[in-house]
């Protein structure tokens, strides 16, 4: 547990640097807003699927596509070297530099070159290296690693840049950003003209014809490719796509997902080693690096990592990355996708130690243009953290929520009274590491499962049949919610049953505590699959439970039962919309809410599951005006925000500030959210009443 608590101390240290946090949030927020350009495409979801399919095709047939790419490159006078690790790649490039008498190298942005540490290796051999990407040049001068996949120096302030370039150029540079860039550009121009070698990365390699795509917004990559006689391109096997058509699909989403641009400013396509007017051919080399990537090929749990197109969208949306940045959240590769990439290519131990920074909100998968299963990969790495360092105290308590909630209901009156006492909560924090400042939900004396035992369905001729999955909150804390779900569905002539069930298990899966969670997965999948075989659909009013049933269960425990749940599980409002489409609108909004000012916060797992939010779709059908709030995460992230101090609570509340401030701006009477924990976070942090959207609904008896 030592590394876990050390990580909490590191988080505390970074969060005390408010200016650093402000720069991160400002930059990532702008990129998030701009990337809605991608989502505005009519065929956005279709493009995501096609990119995923194209990249998966290469992964499953790598020898074929790698061979085809190599043949097409070599037929165009490009020398190809396959490096099994960083050392083979370095040796090849260093030997080439010595053979050609290289004294100076210009280099454009390349994450693979960072991964193999080529600049440092060349400098050790006495070769001058100049990073020509502005962000990378800043980091070279500052002797730092990239903070972000796309904007490597986003964490640096203007004052820091002025100091760096004043020292580098030998005279005071202006504080005006545009003027400063002019001075840097002018200083680098001579290095381009006198360089013996250019090193660059690529964004896409096309197997069918050997075309290499390089995109940038500064033009430095194109200039480097145009001048130096010795050209070296360093790439990973994950850059390969089958066809030119696939390449343009990637290109269409790359700019939009990375920076919100319809197209990057410069798109260079290399189609052979043809030189400029003064020489017939350049000495062109492509170094294709494995360096741990084949480990992902052999392990299905991590093969999705090879679908990454390096857009950085997952970093921009990640609630914890936006607070702590790449200094803590990563190694060479940073943010959510950085955890599996660090695990595979550079530092397995580092990946394991930083994996708790992922709060399993699932937002990264929701914005990824290749629909990479990032949370699932991180979950397996978290499991390794448990194997290495045991389970932290708070996580142990949280893992027992099923049994503790059932027991708490038996002593609900006295326990609810105690939970309101600060002294009891402080004592409880000492033993459980659950923060005493976090309000706990009340426990019900009669759980929902007991209510169901004493009743029969009121529907004689059902138009549909539902097996209701309640999860912990609707079962043990607020059974009234489950009763509303049941009565509304029965009012629509839908039969509702309550099968034997445990919690969805996310409170364990979120922390990599997979083995205990398998008990929940096995029981729930077997129990509900039996009802599906009888013609029932599985419906849950808790988005996180729906996320588990629809996505996680089959990924973790693939069998017939979990596959059945994947295909037949619905989030409650998703199901209502389907029902309305088939049977007509028989729901209305309660009159007492018609004239209220309402705003809606979509839970993270709703965003992960749906491109169009089901609650907003339904309320639009009902002609109810509701303002959607566009922020990333409310901060609570399931049970994460309950953990004490910088293990969870402090980070949770800091993440939530953006939402709390937005709510204050809007000034609503109520916030709508279908997540039980989002409701708790909003009421605690924004001091406004939050209600489940089902509260607004009633049966329209006039139809």
Question: What does the pLDDT look like over 635-689, one tens digit per residue?
Answer: 999 999 999 999 999 999 999 999 999 999 999 999 999 999 999 999 999 999 9
Distance, in Å, from the CA atom of 174 to the CA atom of 177, rounded to the nearest integer, reads: 8
More confident residue, 472 or 271: 472
- For residue 350, give both structure tokens: 């580092």
Helix (H), strand (E) at residue 614? helix 614-621
Q: Which of 671, 680, 601, 613 is nearest to 640 (CA)?
A: 680
Q: What is the phi-psi region of residue 272: left when phi exceeds 0, alpha when psi lies from -120 to 50, beta otherwise?
A: left
Q: Say what percent of the chain tops pLDDT 90.
A: 76
* Residue 37: Cβ within 10 Å count: 16
Q: Check if the beta carbon of residue 225 is closer than 8 Å to that of residue 268.
A: yes
Question: What is the average pLDDT value for the chain, to the nearest integer?
Answer: 92
Q: How far is CA 338 from CA 149, 208, 329, 604, in A?
A: 9, 30, 8, 20
- DSSP per position, 635-674: S-TTTGGGB-GGGTHHHHHHHHHHHHHHHHHH--SEEE-S
Question: What does the pLDDT look like over 30-50, one tens digit per residue?
Answer: 777 666 666 777 788 899 999
Look at the chain and count its residues. 703
- DSSP per position, 303-342: GGGGG-----HHHHH-TTHHHHHHHHSBSSSBHHHHHHHI
Burial class (CB in 10 A: 0-12, 13-18, 19+), 542: buried
Contacts of 156 (CB under 8 A, 6+ apart): 23, 138, 142
Question: What does the pLDDT look like over 157-214, one tens digit per residue?
Answer: 889 999 999 999 999 999 998 999 999 999 999 999 999 999 999 999 999 999 999 9
- For residue 286, give both structure tokens: 């492509």
Q: Which letter, b or e, does each residue of 284-321 get, where b requires 16 or more Cβ atoms within 10 Å of its Cβ?
A: bbbbbbbbbbebbeeeebbbbbbbbbbbbbbbbbbbbb
Distance, in Å, from the CA atom of 481 to the CA atom of 19, rounded to the nearest integer, reads: 42
Stretch among 2-16, 220-234, 374-388, 527-541 having the lowest mean pLDDT: 2-16
* Residue 235: Cβ within 10 Å count: 22
Q: Which of 494, 476, 426, 445 is nearest to 699 (CA)?
A: 494
Question: What does the pLDDT look like over 322-352, one tens digit per residue?
Answer: 889 888 998 899 999 999 999 999 888 999 9
Looking at residue 544, its pLDDT comes to 97
Give percent helix, percent strand, percent coil of the chain, each to the nearest 5.
55, 15, 30
Distance, in Å, from the CA atom of 44 to the CA atom of 36, rounded to the nearest integer, reads: 11
Q: Check if the beta carbon of residue 607 is closer than 8 Å to that of residue 613.
A: yes
CA-CA-CA-CA torsion sign (550, 553, 558, 562): negative
Question: What does the pLDDT look like over 428-467, one tens digit per residue?
Answer: 999 999 999 999 999 999 999 999 998 888 888 999 999 9
Q: Which letter, b or e, does each residue of 466-491 get, where b requires 16 or more Cβ atoms within 10 Å of its Cβ?
A: bbbbbbbbbbbbbbebbebbbebbbb
Distance, in Å, from the CA atom of 436 to the CA atom of 438, rounded to the nearest integer, reads: 6
The answer, yes or no, to whether residue 277 has pLDDT greater than 50, is no
Q: Check if the beta carbon of residue 180 is closer than 8 Å to that of residue 134.
A: no
The answer, yes or no, to whether residue 80 has pLDDT greater than 90, is yes
Q: What SS3 class is residue 365? A: helix
Question: What does the pLDDT look like over 489-509, one tens digit per residue?
Answer: 999 999 999 999 999 999 999
Q: Say what percent of the chain tops pLDDT 70.
A: 97
Distance, in Å, from the CA atom of 32 to the CA atom of 257, rounded to the nearest integer, reads: 8
In the chain, how long is the greatest CA-to-CA distance?
A: 89
Q: Helices (H) and strands (E) in the chain — how many of each?
A: 37, 20
The answer, yes or no, to whether residue 119 has pLDDT greater than 90, is yes
| Sheet with 240-241, edge to edge strand ranges | 240-241, 204-206, 212-216, 266-270
Q: Which of 76, 142, 550 is nearest to 284 (CA)?
A: 76
Distance, in Å, from the CA atom of 246 to the CA atom of 54, rounded to the nearest integer, reads: 7
Q: Are strands 212-216 and 230-236 parallel, antiparallel or unpaired?
A: unpaired
Kindly report the CA angle at 634 between 312 and 392, in degrees rounded to 5? 85
Q: Check if the beta carbon of residue 238 is closer than 8 Å to that of residue 372.
A: no
- For residue 38, give both structure tokens: 């991608």
């Amino acid at each position: 547990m030592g590394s876990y608590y050390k990580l909490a101390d590191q988080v505390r240290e970074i969060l005390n640097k408010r200016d650093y946090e402000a720069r991160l949030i400002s930059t990532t927020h702008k990129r998030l807003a701009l990337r809605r350009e991608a989502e505005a495409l009519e065929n956005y979801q279709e493009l995501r699927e096609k990119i995923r399919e194209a990249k998966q095709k290469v992964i499953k047939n790598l020898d074929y596509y790698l061979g085809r790419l190599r043949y097409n490159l070599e037929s165009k006078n490009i020398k190809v070297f396959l490096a099994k690790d960083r050392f083979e790649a370095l040796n090849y490039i260093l030997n080439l530099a010595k053979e050609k008498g290289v004294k100076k190298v210009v280099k454009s942005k390349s994450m693979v070159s960072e991964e193999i540490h080529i600049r440092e290796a060349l400098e050790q051999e006495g070769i001058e290296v100049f990073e020509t990407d502005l962000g990378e040049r800043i980091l070279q001068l500052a002797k730092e690693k990239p903070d972000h996949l796309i904007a490597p120096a986003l964490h640096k302030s203007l004052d820091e840049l002025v100091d760096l370039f004043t020292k580098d150029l030998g005279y005071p540079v202006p504080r005006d950003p545009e003027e400063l860039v002019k001075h840097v550009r002018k200083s680098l121009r001579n290095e381009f003209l006198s360089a013996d070698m250019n090193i660059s990365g690529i964004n896409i390699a096309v197997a069918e014809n050997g075309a290499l795509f390089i995109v940038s917004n500064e033009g430095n990559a194109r200039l480097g490719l145009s001048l130096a006689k010795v050209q070296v391109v360093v790439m990973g096997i994950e850059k390969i796509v089958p066809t030119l058509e696939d390449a343009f699909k990637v290109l269409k989403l790359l700019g939009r997902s990375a920076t919100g641009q319809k197209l990057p400013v410069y798109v260079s396509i290399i189609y052979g080693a043809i030189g400029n007017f003064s020489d017939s051919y350049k000495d062109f080399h492509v170094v294709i690096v494995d360096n741990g990537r084949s480990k992902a090929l052999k392990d299905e749990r991590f093969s999705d990592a090879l679908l990454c197109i390096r857009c950085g969208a997952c970093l921009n949306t990640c609630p914890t990355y936006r607070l702590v940045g790449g200094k803590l959240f990563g190694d060479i590769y940073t943010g959510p996708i950085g955890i599996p990439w660090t695990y595979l290519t550079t530092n397995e131990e580092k990946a394991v130690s930083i994996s708790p920074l992922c709060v399993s909100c699932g937002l990264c998968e929701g914005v990824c243009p290749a629909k990479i299963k990032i949370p699932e990969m991180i979950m397996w790495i978290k499991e390794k953290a448990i194997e290495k360092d045991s389970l932290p105290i708070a996580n142990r308590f949280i893992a027992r929520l099923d049994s503790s909630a059932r027991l708490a209901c038996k002593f609900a009156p006295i326990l609810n009274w105690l939970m309101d006492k600060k002294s009891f909560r402080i004592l409880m924090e000492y033993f459980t590491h659950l923060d005493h400042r976090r309000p706990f939900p009340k426990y019900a004396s009669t759980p929902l499962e007991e209510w169901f035992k004493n009743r029969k369905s009121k529907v004689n001729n059902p138009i549909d049949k539902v097996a209701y999955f309640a999860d912990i909150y609707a079962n043990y804390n607020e059974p009234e919610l489950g009763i509303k779900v049941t009565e509304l569905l029965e009012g629509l002539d839908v039969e509702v049953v309550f099968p034997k069930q445990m919690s969805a298990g996310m409170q364990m899966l979120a922390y990599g505590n997979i083995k205990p969670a398998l008990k929940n997965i096995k029981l729930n999948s077997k129990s509900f699959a039996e009802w599906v075989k009888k013609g029932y659909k599985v419906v849950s009013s808790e988005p996180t439970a729906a996320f588990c049933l629809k996505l996680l269960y089959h990924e973790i425990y693939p069998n017939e039962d979990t596959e059945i749940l994947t295909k037949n599980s619905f989030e409650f409002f998703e199901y209502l919309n389907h029902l309305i489409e088939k049977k007509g609108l028989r729901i209305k909004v309660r009159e007492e809410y018609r004239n209220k000012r309402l705003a809606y916060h979509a839970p993270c797992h709703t965003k992960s599951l749906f491109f169009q939010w089901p609650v907003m779709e339904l309320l639009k059908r009902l002609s109810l005006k509701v303002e959607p709030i566009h922020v990333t995460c409310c901060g609570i992230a399931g049970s994460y925000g309950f953990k004490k101090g910088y293990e969870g609570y402090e980070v949770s509340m800091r993440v939530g500030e953006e939402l709390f401030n937005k709510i204050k701006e809007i000034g609503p009477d109520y916030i709508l959210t279908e997540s039980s924990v989002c409701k708790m976070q909003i009421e605690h942090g924004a001091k406004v009443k939050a209600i489940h959207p089902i509260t607004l609904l009633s049966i329209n008896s006039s139809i």
